[in-house]
Amino acid sequence: MQSSLRRTIIPRLKRLKRGFIYHFQKATLSDEVFICINQKRTKGNCNARIRKDTEAGEFRKDGHHAHNHPPELDQQRHVAFVNACAVEACISSDPPREIFDRIRRGYPGLLLTYKDAMQRRIQRAKRSMQPRIPKTIDEAY
């Protein structure tokens, strides 16, 4: 019996690991590479990376580079909140403001406001789940 649920992949989510925040950098045949958000020279030039094994789903340290900054514990809850809003937007058909308010109740100590950027983020997540617009008449039928 096959499940009718399909796996949803939201590519813009940030990964959280032990107080540090990573962005997706690239995918190889066997794993995915994530880099520290402070990798740019203006943000501290941190060269830390982790790899995620695509088969086992395990994270491992890549190379010998350690973080040159303290963990971003205050930003972690904010990133988790934004990720939760994006995931909920893919599932729910509610308006963006209702999704924001519902998820915000689960993060009581977090100071957030509903701004244009959050609204656009939720709308982008909703649009990513819609079918592609056909380019030709043949694709429409």
Reported as a single tens digit per residue, the pLDDT across 64-108 is: 778 888 887 778 888 889 989 999 999 998 999 999 999 999 988
In this predicted structure, the answer to whether residue 3 has a pLDDT above a threshold of 60 is no
Token code pair at residue 86: 């994006």
pLDDT value of residue 41: 72
Mean pLDDT is highest, among 18-22, 73-77, 128-132, for 128-132
Burial of 37 per CB tally in 10 Å (0-12, 13-18, 19+): buried
- How does the average pLDDT of the chain come out, rounded? 81
pLDDT value of residue 25: 86
Give the side-chain half-sphere CA count within 13 A for 108.
0
In this predicted structure, the answer to whether residue 124 has a pLDDT above a threshold of 60 is yes
pLDDT value of residue 85: 93
Quote the percentage of the chain above a pLDDT of 70.
86
Whether the pTM exceeds 0.85: the reply is no
- Total residues found in the chain within this entry: 141
Cα 64 from Cα 114, distance rounded (Å): 40
Residue 38 · residue 65 · CB < 8 Å: no
Quote the percentage of the chain above a pLDDT of 90.
21
